[in-house]
Amino acid sequence: MRSLKAIFVIALAFTSLILVTAILTIRTEVLLEREGQADVGIVQALKSGKADELSAFFPAEVIFFAPDNTTLTDRTEATHFLKSLFEMHPVRSFDTTSLLSGKASNLSYLKGVLHTKDQDFTLYATIYNGKIERLDLTSVKS
């Protein structure tokens, strides 16, 4: 009788471990899928030149280095600046130079060139948990 109880306890523990492993694996896959969707959404927003779509990926506080050495930290200010920038320089396209995963989970880095009607801007973004934590735009002098 004791051996049956021991076998039952071992089987229950083994089943619990398999179940926990399966749940954690599924959760990790969902997080990675969301991260990839956010990165794709950010690139699409840059290609469309719509400041509202891009700012949806800003957290409440974002580090935004804009042309002419302007540094913004508030989502509202950054959105307003982007709207003005995209109105003055309508976006034609965005070329992704690289999109790399970081060492930490849910961290990625985006580099590219934003082509506007009259000027190009290099772009560097740090994306964490689907939000743009840092965005650097630098004017490319012709």
Q: Quick: pLDDT tens for 46-104.
A: 999 989 999 999 999 999 888 876 787 888 988 998 999 899 999 999 998 888 887 77
Q: Which residue bears the tokens 């970081």?
A: 102
What dihedral do alpha carbons 37, 38, 41, 46 form, nearest 10°? -150
Rounded Cα gap, residues 49 and 64, in angstroms:
17
Instruction: List the one residue out of 116, 47, 54 whose CA is nearest residue 88.
Output: 116
Rounded Cα gap, residues 110 and 62, in angstroms:
15
Rounded Cα gap, residues 78 and 84, in angstroms:
10
Q: Has residue 32 got a pLDDT over 60?
A: no
Residues with Cβ within 8 Å of residue 91, at least 6 apart in sequence: 46, 47, 48, 49, 114, 115, 116
**What's the pLDDT tens digit per position in 95-136?**
988 888 877 778 889 999 999 998 999 999 999 988 999 999
Give the model's pLDDT for residue 91: 94
Instruction: List the one residue out of 93, 82, 115, 106 whose CA is nearest residue 31.
Output: 106
Indicate the SS3 state at residue 86.
helix
Tally of domains in the chain: 1
What range does the domain containing 92 cover? Answer: 2-140
Q: Has residue 35 got a pLDDT over 50?
A: no
Q: What CATH number does the domain containing 81 carry? A: 3.10.450.50
Residues with Cβ within 8 Å of residue 42, at least 6 apart in sequence: 54, 57, 110, 125, 127, 132
